[in-house]
Structure 1
Amino acid sequence: MSTWLVVSLSGLENRTLDRCAEFAAELRCRGVPLTLLVAPRPERAEPPRPDSPVQRWVRGRVADGDAIALHGFEHSVPADGLLPRLVTGRGAEFATLPAHEAGLRLIAALATVERLGLRVETFVPPRWLASPGTLSALRHHGFTVCADGTAVHELDAGLVHRARVHSFGSGERGEVRRCRSLVSRVGRTVRRDLPVRLAVDAADLQRPLPGRAVLDAVDLALEQGAVPRSYDDFASRVPRPRGAEPSGNVAVNIDPLSR
């Protein structure tokens, strides 16, 4: 049985664009699609302009077969969210929101993304944390996939594919150690025939060692037979695996591409 490999890229900015383009080209040579995480107003910054270099590049990547996912709205915790900030950390915008408030933020985010000439049905919450209310709001607003830190949710089918995200651990000392740890974790995961989800921040690509480590991890997963996919591939157009149950009775599956 083949497992799958998903690579996402966040932190898209004009200053990181050159390296992001190089990274995307490296993955394209390997037949690996990217899922680009689009944040309408990160840290309450001004909304991106449709004619900015980053947005033009994103639209070009989508036209060439890459996927996009909505990555929150403004990455801020509500004013009354002191406890959520203490528990989840800075920027976990959708970690504790009720459905109504999550819906309001989704409406604003979708309006911004539409002005950029993009259409999204996949959601990746900031810091990979989404509340039950957020999942409910996503279904209500037509999203088909939500990828959090521990699973990928098929919102239409009610399926939950358990798979943790791998990234450069902030708690690990030393860049060399973090790079080795990432490759090692991916190797262990794919050898156990489990799904591989790589989360890459554009800032990591600005340094040679992390950039090389990500590609090493991708190559290792591919050598072990992992099938490249994007988060969009978890939408309802993907054939449902044998034994999967429809919405209303949530099923857990670790290999959504099996037959």
Structure 2
Amino acid sequence: MSTLLVSLSGLTDADDADRARAVAFAAELDGLGVPLTHLLQPRRAGGDPLRHDDDLVRWIAGRVNGGDDLLLHGYDHTADPIGIWQNGTVPRIGRRTEFGALPRHEAMLRLTAARRVLAATGLSTDGFAPPRWIASAGTCEALAAHGFRLCADEASLRVPGTADALRARVLTFRSTEPWLRGWAEPGRGERPAGDRRRCRALLQQATRTARRGGIVRIALRAKDLRREERVAGALAAIDAARAAGAAPSVHRGLFTVTAAAA
């Protein structure tokens, strides 16, 4: 049986307009009976941590209480995490790939800091989604040591420290995604046409995956909600996946149920 997962990221540093769009999108999903998984970055780009009385924290807490899910989404997405290791043989990581090349020790430090901030907000989770969906081997080891039960990377949902994994490639509107190659607009100035191509690609991939009985993972960013074409495209893909037999779920709930069934 196919499963549908929808996630949203990028709200920590978003403005009021972006957050209003997120509220409206979540309401659309409520009408479809589709829960939303929130990918939360606990520290803002400027360094300030989220707090328990922030509007965003209160909104997410309410959504989770209503059936949504929450995954830790890195720490602060800095391009240059602490440590002198980057001067060595480990590749330099790029922006928003905070956990993409970290060794175990550095990943442990950042996960400790992230969990401390998250606990102070009153939120909690044992699921992790690395920025840009890339987690180094050291990060996976650190996740296992911290007791995380899910790591959602670009191609799978896995239990850190074990061989348990479910194949599930994430579908986004980023033109660099492998499954989108060939669909991106050929040049600048063609964004509307490019968005239409991406929406068609998303619709086709979601439908195809659902018909094969796979896991349809649609991942949106707050900035995607600024474009009506992308919102409409995401909702169309969600409808198509459901029509093809995909049952809505959340990331952690899916793995728990599937592992139990196995």
Match of 1:221 in 2: 241
Alpha-carbon separation, structure 2, partners of 1:180 and 1:84:
35
Unaligned runs of 5+ in 2: 177-183, 186-193
Q: 1:202 to 1:152 in 2, by over 3 A?
A: same
Q: For the Cα contact (< 8 Å) 2:79–2:94, is it kept in 1?
A: no
Amino acid aligned to 1:120: T
Q: Give the partner amino acid of 2:166.
A: H
Q: Hey, which bits of structure 1, 4+ residues long, moved more than 6 A? A: none
* 1:43 and 2:45 matched: yes
Alpha-carbon contact 2:141-2:161 (below 8 Å) kept: no
Which residue is 1:31 aligned to?
Answer: 33
Aligned match of 2:8: 9
Aligned residues, how many?
239
1:168 paired with 2:169, answer no
**Amino acid of the structure 1 residue aligned with 2:198:** R
- Deviation of 1:188 after TM superposition, in Å, equals 2.1
| Deviates further, 179-188 or 54-63 | 179-188
Residue identity in the other structure for 2:33: G
- The normalised TM-score by structure 2 is 0.84
1:92-171 matches, cutoff 5 A: 92-155=97-160, 158-171=163-176
Q: Say if 1:129 and 1:149, in contact at 8 Å, map to a contact too.
A: yes
Percent of matched pairs sharing the same residue: 42
CA-atom RMSD, angstroms?
Answer: 2.0
Q: Find the counterpart in structure 1 of residue 56 from structure 2.
A: 54
What is the CA–CA distance in structure 1 between the aligned matches of 2:145 and 2:46, rounded to whole Å?
A: 25
Secondary structure in 1 matching 2:218? strand
Cα gap change, 1:42 to 1:127, in 2 (>3 Å): farther
> Unpaired runs of 5+ in structure 1?
243-259
Instruction: Give the Cα–Cα distance (whole angstroms) in 1 for the partners of residues 71 and 226 of structure 2.
Output: 22
Provide the rounded CA distance (Å) in 1 between the counterparts of 2:7 and 2:26.
10
SS of alignment partner, residue 93 of structure 1: coil
Higher alpha-carbon deviation: 189-198 or 145-154: 189-198
Q: Which range is displaced more, 100-109 or 27-36? A: 27-36
Matched to 2:203, the amino acid is V
Counterpart residue identity of residue 110, structure 1: R
